[in-house]
């Protein structure tokens, strides 16, 4: 029973790492941009040739999309912050 639980948690380590990265990236968007882009690249490099191209597009493409969204939020953070302050002061 203990061996089965150990094996189960061993396979969950990558998920825990991504969740931790997401928690950190929630406040620091550049961390999310860098981390999710690197994970997408690492997946392609480590598993190239084992699966059809569609698999890489689905898995790495999702990670790249998350990285792009973090990057866009990081680039527009000041603008979004100023708009939010103006809405609060205007009473909206």
Cα-Cα end-to-end distance for the chain: 57
How far is Cα 29 from Cα 23, in angstroms, rounded to an integer? 10
* 3-class SS of residue 80: helix
Q: What is the pLDDT along the chain (92 residues), one digit of tens a residue?
A: 777 888 888 989 988 988 998 899 998 999 999 999 999 999 999 999 999 999 999 999 999 999 999 999 999 887 777 766 666 665 55
Say if pTM beats, i.e. exceeds, 0.85: no
Is the Cβ–Cβ distance between 46 and 87 less than 8 Å? no
How far is Cα 74 from Cα 7, in angstroms, rounded to an integer? 38
DSSP label of 51: S
């Amino acid at each position: 029973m203990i061996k089965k639980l150990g094996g189960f948690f061993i396979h969950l380590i990558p998920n825990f790492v991504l969740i931790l990265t997401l928690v950190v990236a929630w406040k620091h968007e550049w961390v999310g941009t860098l981390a999710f882009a690197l994970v997408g690249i690492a997946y392609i490099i480590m598993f190239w040739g084992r699966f059809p191209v569609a698999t890489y597009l689905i898995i790495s493409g999702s990670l790249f999309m998350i990285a792009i969204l973090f990057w866009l939020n990081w680039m527009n953070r000041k603008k979004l912050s100023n708009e939010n302050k103006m809405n609060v002061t205007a009473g909206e």
